[in-house]
């Protein structure tokens, strides 16, 4: 089902299976996609990483993710563009910037409990009913439903990643750091650069991330650079030298050492590897 407004807004809700799986790769500019796996059958290659998804997992994709379908079951897809609902402009409402979208160096995945799946199923049914409606309030109603959907996803993500244990200002700092890394990872490779943008000290950033007991701020930066490096090496015809320059490395050897340290092989070897 597809809603398209008068100023290029669109919202698409589809059940994806083997017969229409090319839809997964048809993401346009400024498009965000949520995939809800309805069974255990789907195996996807996303940014050259293999995933076998389980029933009631949800993932969150931007237009930049590269998807290859290996096996597919049934997937419920919610896709929308910035004109329909901009999560950056509405960050105070949904708070998913920097965690679900625009900021995760690894694929954001949430696992729904039974009560969550029932709530989401009901919400999807209301979505579909409203998609069939044709009146002056349709756009507003669909935006409201999407907002609720995103808020529910954000709550589950925060709970499963222990963000709810942190003070709200710490959560906001982590989200904003992640978002800034997404914007500037090609030009800013050190923690101090992001600390300056956030008007914080590097030590403050390190202390906040230490509370998560996960990766350091520098690891987040390097993981995002590596994600883009793999994408460019695998899915473009650019040379290793051109990719190094695009990622902010004027010296090819420095980039090659960085890539090999993280991937285990040289970027030239990675580019030649078969899918």
Of 13, 72, 66, nearest in space to 37 by CA: 72
Domains 2-161 and 168-272 share a fold: no
Neighbours of 48 (CB within 10 A): 16
The CATH class for the domain spanning 168-272 reads: mainly alpha
In Å, how far from its chain's centre is CA 155?
16
Q: Where are the domains of the chain?
A: 2-161, 168-272
Q: Measure the CA–CA gap between 1 and 170, rounded to whole angstroms.
A: 39
3-class SS at 186? coil
How much is the pLDDT for 27?
67
How much is the pLDDT for 229?
93
User: Do 209 and 202 meet the contact criterion of CB atoms below 8 Å apart?
Assistant: no
How much is the pLDDT for 22?
85
Tell me the pTM. 0.89
Of 28, 38, 26, nearest in space to 67 by CA: 26
| 2-161: CATH superfamily | Regulatory protein AraC (2.60.120.280)
Q: Measure the CA–CA gap between 8 and 204, rounded to whole angstroms.
A: 42
How much is the pLDDT for 106?
80
How much is the pLDDT for 35?
95
How much is the pLDDT for 203?
93
CA angle 18, 20, 22 (to 5 degrees): 100
How much is the pLDDT for 55?
94
Instruction: State the 10-residue block means of pLDDT for the chain, 275 residues long.
Output: 83 90 78 94 90 95 88 93 90 89 84 89 88 81 92 91 83 91 93 94 91 85 92 90 93 92 91 76
Q: Measure the CA–CA gap between 124 and 36, rounded to whole angstroms.
A: 11
């Amino acid at each position: 089902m597809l809603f398209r407004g008068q100023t290029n807004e669109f919202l698409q809700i589809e059940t994806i299976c083997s017969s229409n799986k090319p839809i997964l790769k048809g993401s346009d500019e400024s498009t965000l996609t949520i995939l809800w796996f309805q069974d255990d059958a789907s195996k996807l290659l996303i940014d050259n990483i293999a995933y076998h998804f389980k029933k009631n997992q949800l993932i969150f994709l931007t237009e930049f993710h590269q998807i290859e379908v290996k096996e597919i079951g049934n997937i419920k897809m919610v896709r929308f563009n910035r004109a329909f609902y901009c999560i950056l402009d509405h960050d105070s409402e949904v708070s998913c910037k920097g965690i679900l979208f625009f900021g995760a160096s690894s694929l954001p995945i949430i696992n729904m409990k039974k009560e969550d799946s029932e709530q989401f199923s009901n919400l999807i049914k209301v979505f579909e009913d409203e998609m069939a409606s044709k009146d002056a309030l349709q756009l507003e109603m669909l935006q409201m439903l999407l907002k609720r959907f995103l808020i529910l996803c954000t709550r589950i993500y925060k709970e499963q990643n222990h963000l709810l244990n942190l003070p709200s200002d710490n959560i906001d700092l982590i989200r904003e750091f992640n978002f800034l890394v997404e914007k500037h990872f090609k030009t800013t490779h050190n923690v101090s650069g992001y600390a300056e943008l956030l008007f914080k000290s590097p030590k403050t950033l390190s202390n906040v991330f230490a509370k998560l007991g996960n990766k350091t701020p520098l690891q987040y930066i390097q993981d995002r650079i590596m994600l883009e490096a793999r994408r460019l090496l695998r899915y473009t015809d650019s040379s290793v030298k051109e990719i190094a320059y695009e990622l902010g490395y004027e010296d090819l050897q420095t980039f090659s050492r960085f890539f090999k340290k993280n991937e285990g092989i040289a970027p030239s070897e990675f580019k030649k590897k078969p899918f």
